[in-house]
Amino acid sequence: MEARRIVITGGPSSGKTTLLNHLETLGHPCLHEISREVIKEAQERGIEQLFLTNPILFSELLLEGRLAQFRQATAQREPVLFYDRGLPDVTAYLDYVGTHYPDQFAETCRNHRYDTVFLLPPWPEIYTQDNERYESFEQAQKIHSFLYDAYLGYGYTVHEVPRGPVDTRVTHILDTLARGL
């Protein structure tokens, strides 16, 4: 039996990683964001910001990695598998920066469907920048809009997760899933 694929997405500093880590402590299997790995590997090769330098190469690497993660649901024994970002995040970010991308990117997003999508809103109180997160809070707000539009464009119902303590957010997600939404 394939696990239900549940995406948790949102712009920078919306609390995705904290939320997924909490889900994991509760025993839920989670696949973590791979973009930091791609960024670190590029930095080790002397490319400070691969997404800004070569957005298509960066996005191809993300698409490949997220597609591999997507396929992991077929081997899951648990009924639900949580993802830190999904395939449509790739095209959303490219749309955000106005970069044209190959049709195969959108085709991959259309042909590999998640069961439920949760979107976390920008959250100014927890917003931070670091070596891998270079966007300003204003940019994070715009990215949020592009993520929302991308998932809608691929035919998903997008469930917004309210800001609040991590346990409240997790309860909201698990209750929504229990209601079959």
Number of domains composing the chain: 1
Determine which of 22-36, 75-89, 126-140, 166-180 has the lowest per-residue pLDDT on average: 126-140
Q: What is the pLDDT of residue 181?
A: 65
Q: What is the pLDDT of residues 131-168, one digit of tens each?
A: 555 667 788 889 999 999 999 999 999 999 999 999 99
| Burial track 35-48 (b if 16+ CB lie within 10 A, e otherwise) | beebbeebeeeebe
CATH code of the domain in which 37 resides = 3.40.50.300
Alpha-carbon dihedral sign for residues 174, 17, 66, 147: positive
Q: What is the pLDDT of residues 1-47, one digit of tens each?
A: 688 999 999 988 788 989 999 999 999 999 998 887 877 777 777 76
pTM of the shown model: 0.90
Measure the CA–CA gap between 158 and 89, rounded to whole angstroms: 13
